[in-house]
Amino acid sequence: MKSIVKRWVAGMAFLGAVALMLCPPTFQASLTDLFPVKVGDTPLPADGLAKYTGMLNIVLQSPDFDAARKDADRLYQKMTAAGIQDITYRVPENMTAQMIDFLKKHKNSYVTDKTRLSSTEAVRQRAVQKVKTSLAPTVLPLREDPFLLMSDYVQNMPRPMSLWNEKEGVLHQFSDGENYILMVAPLEKKDVYLMMQQIDLIKQTPLSAATKLHLSGAPVHTEQMFQKCRQEIAVISVLSLLGLLILTYRLFRTRRALLLGAMNLGIGFLCGCVALFLFCPVVHILTFAFGSSLIGLCIDYSFHRFYAGPEGSRAVLKNMTSSFLTTVCCFVPLLFSSFSLLFQVAVFTLGGLTGTFLWVLVAPVPKVNPPAVRCPRFVLSRRSKVAFVALGVLIVLMGVGGWHLNHNPSVLYQPSPALQREEALFAKLNGPAAGRLLWVRGDTLWEALAKEESLRQKHDFFGLSVLLPANQEQNRQFVQRLYKEQSAALQSALGLTFQVAYKETPAVDEKAFWDAFLMMSAFVVRTPRDVWTVTPVPADVPDLGDKDVLFFEPAKHLSAALDRQATDSYGLLAVSFLLLAGLLGVLYRGKAPLYLLPSVIGSLGTLSILALCGESLTFFHWLGLFVVVGMSMDYTVFLFNSPRESFRPVLFSFLTSFIGFGLLSFIHFPMIAIMGKTLALGLGLSFLFSFILSSESIDTPAANVRRGRAPRKSGTSSTSKKSAVFFV
């Protein structure tokens, strides 16, 4: 009856899990997705942000402009046919003339801030001086613009941050005998596979022999990194799996153990995913990378359970429960983190771990019958143990000075030399990289423009409000007053042959503006709730602290967010250690510090060794420490409580994790490599110190060995009698 209920419960749980897996949540892949950018409490529109951070720069280079132009046309057609939209390529010919024609039609609306804030007399005097000087000819004939307001506006117009010029309707540059034509395409960033296809399509487009294609921008970096990581991960997965299979087979000498291990792993992963999908509507794929400790723990549980067999169940279950609780203590604080990735890692790990643990508890113990292997006894003098611990502490202390965070993009990511050359070329052609986007929010476009204008009064830069001013009414009122007060004086000062009189011009309306300047739509992002103007600005534009104004630098933002999360994770790690200390105190009383020591030395020693090797620490190192502590407590609990019986499963479990994570440290994707390094080193140190501290002390009960007496039995006596003895 009991078994029927169990089967029903298991069956229902399985069906529920499958149902959840069939309708997974939304997945995020980019690191920037983890750190939403906010202006006050309003997040920047994600689509708009992706548009500006996911631009692909396509530059065609050729000594022959016509050939490059034909190639560019062909490429543009192919890209649009493939569904790539909003490509910046064709620009209106004679843009300046068009712009001046437009401004002329609405000239009373265009007055510089400086002019509007001056007295009418000062404006008249300046106009007289300018008309007379050889350095200042006028944009419009004097009859149309006697106070030179339009000339003043055009001549003081800030230059857009770009060195590209229009030539025959495309963005062009000529440098060192070569023609360069620019296209900018916003690629589909959310779907990495689609983005890769799009880049591939661009690369495959046939070009004339003399034309070279240069690609740069965030999508190319993503594509190259993804391609490289995919290959590396495939190789590493095969090697890790091979290692796992060999070690499992070596431990149990039966293929049945492989199946049982895989089943445990499958259940762990399924439970982890179910928990994750239930609690997190949006899941970041990094969760699976940092939740990979689950694999190690599932393998651990399998090894211990199967190795002990039905006879050793009670002792193993006791150790397993302690181990499970210590891991829970380690990950529970992450559930209270405000950082979504930490929360997801905790949910995934705890869900999977709980599932595996319950499964191991209720599942019948299979008969694997591992081979009887002599397990050597390891004996250390207390003095040696103290010396080892002192060495560990010394390593930690030696490296503490080098624990400094560095989240510079170069630490987290290093592009290939070829891609670096492409980026350098684009930077040379495009001018000094702004790297800084100004986002201004408004409930309406005019509100956003007014805020942008007030910022431009403090520091001039090119933005949408240059061509579409918000304060048109004030400008028009000023112009009217100027004509009323100064017309006669101007006429007499210059000796004009015509009557200076005010003429009304229509205000600029949005529709007319977009008809004339469609390209300027790149400066606007609209959401159902608000409107944003976006423009690249120089580094010296000051941040005045307006809640609706944000200066966004992707690299800086990411760096600051990671710094913040790393700092937060110190506290969480401390809480984990405190909880662990409390639990170990309850379970092992006075020995609790000893149980904690391998994990402490393992985790802190890892940071110190990496620092001594000159590696800068990142948030991902700190995140790796949670996994190190969570997994290494398992080694400690088993080795301390039953050193000889558990030695082989712990050793093999450690080796599987060490190989898996160690191989990951060779991946070119820094975040994964950091995790691999931290875990391999941390687990190695923790295992080593667990082993050292769990070895028999020569001067306590095992001191008898030296005197030729039998040591105290600590478990299975039959093997211990035959075992080798190691002294240190």
Partner 1 sequence: MKYFFGLFLLLLSVGAHAQIDDTLFLKGIKSLDDGAFLYHQKKFVSDVERPFEADGVFQLVRDKGVILKQKNPEPWVFVSTPTRYCFDDKAGDLADLPYFSYIKKAVDDLLSGQDEALYQIGDVAYMEKDGLWFVDITPTQKRVAQFVRKITLRGKEKISFWKIEYTDGTRIEMDFVPIKQDFSNEIDC
647: three-class secondary structure by DSSP? helix
Q: Cα(first)–Cα(last) distance of the chain, in Å?
A: 56
Site for partner 1 in 628-647 (CB under 8 A): none
Neighbours of 59 (CB within 10 A): 24
Residue among 334, 324, 323, 327 at smallest CA distance from 575: 334
The minimum distance between CB 281 and partner 1, in angstroms, equals 48
Q: Between 441 and 480, how does the x/- string for binding to partner 1 read (CB under 8 A)? A: ----------------------------------------
The minimum distance between CB 493 and partner 1, in angstroms, equals 10
- Stretch of 89-97, 415-423, 515-523, 621-629 contacting partner 1, by CB under 8 A: 89-97
Q: CB-wise, 44 or 131, nearer to partner 1? A: 131
492 lies in the binding site for partner 1 (CB under 8 A):
no
497 lies in the binding site for partner 1 (CB under 8 A):
yes
Q: Which of 132, 428, 458, 484 binds partner 1 (CB under 8 A)?
A: 132
Burial call 116-145: b when 16+ CB within 10 Å, e when fewer: bebebeebbbbbbebbeeeeeebbbebeeb
Contact 379, 695 (CB under 8 A): yes
498 lies in the binding site for partner 1 (CB under 8 A):
yes
The minimum distance between CB 164 and partner 1, in angstroms, equals 9
Q: Which of 3, 85, 134, 338 binds partner 1 (CB under 8 A)?
A: 134
Which region, left, alpha or beta, applies to residue 230 given φ > 0 means left and ψ of -120 to 50 means alpha? alpha
At 68, which amino acid appears? A
130 lies in the binding site for partner 1 (CB under 8 A):
yes
The minimum distance between CB 498 and partner 1, in angstroms, equals 5
154 lies in the binding site for partner 1 (CB under 8 A):
yes
135 lies in the binding site for partner 1 (CB under 8 A):
yes
Q: Between 99 and 128, how does the x/- string for binding to partner 1 read (CB under 8 A)? A: -x----------------------------
Q: CB-wise, 158 or 715, nearer to partner 1? A: 158
The first and second tokens of residue 648, run together, are 């082989």
Q: CB-wise, 115 or 720, nearer to partner 1? A: 115
**DSSP assignment letter at 93:** T
CA distances from 133 to 129, 138, 316, 411, 444 (A): 6, 11, 96, 56, 43
521 lies in the binding site for partner 1 (CB under 8 A):
no
- Stretch of 106-114, 147-155, 510-518, 579-587 contacting partner 1, by CB under 8 A: 147-155
495 lies in the binding site for partner 1 (CB under 8 A):
yes
Whole-number Å distance between alpha carbons of 501 and 189: 56
Site for partner 1 in 166-195 (CB under 8 A): 166, 174-175
165 lies in the binding site for partner 1 (CB under 8 A):
yes
DSSP assignment of 239-273: HHHHHHHHHHHHHH-SHHHHHHHHHHHHHHHHHHH
140 lies in the binding site for partner 1 (CB under 8 A):
yes
Segment (H or E) for 327: helix 313-331
Q: CB-wise, 84 or 123, nearer to partner 1? A: 123
Whole-number Å distance between alpha carbons of 298 and 262: 9
Give the count of residues interacting with partner 1 (CB under 8 A).
Answer: 37
159 lies in the binding site for partner 1 (CB under 8 A):
yes
Angle CA 516–517–521, to nearest 5: 140
Q: Which of 26, 77, 119, 156 binds partner 1 (CB under 8 A)?
A: 156
The minimum distance between CB 102 and partner 1, in angstroms, equals 14
Instruction: Give the strand pairing for 524-526 and 531-536.
Output: antiparallel
The first and second tokens of residue 518, run together, are 């469609």
Judged by the rule CB under 8 A, the positions of this chain that interact with partner 1 are 93-94, 96-97, 100, 129-143, 152, 154-159, 163, 165-166, 174-175, 494-498
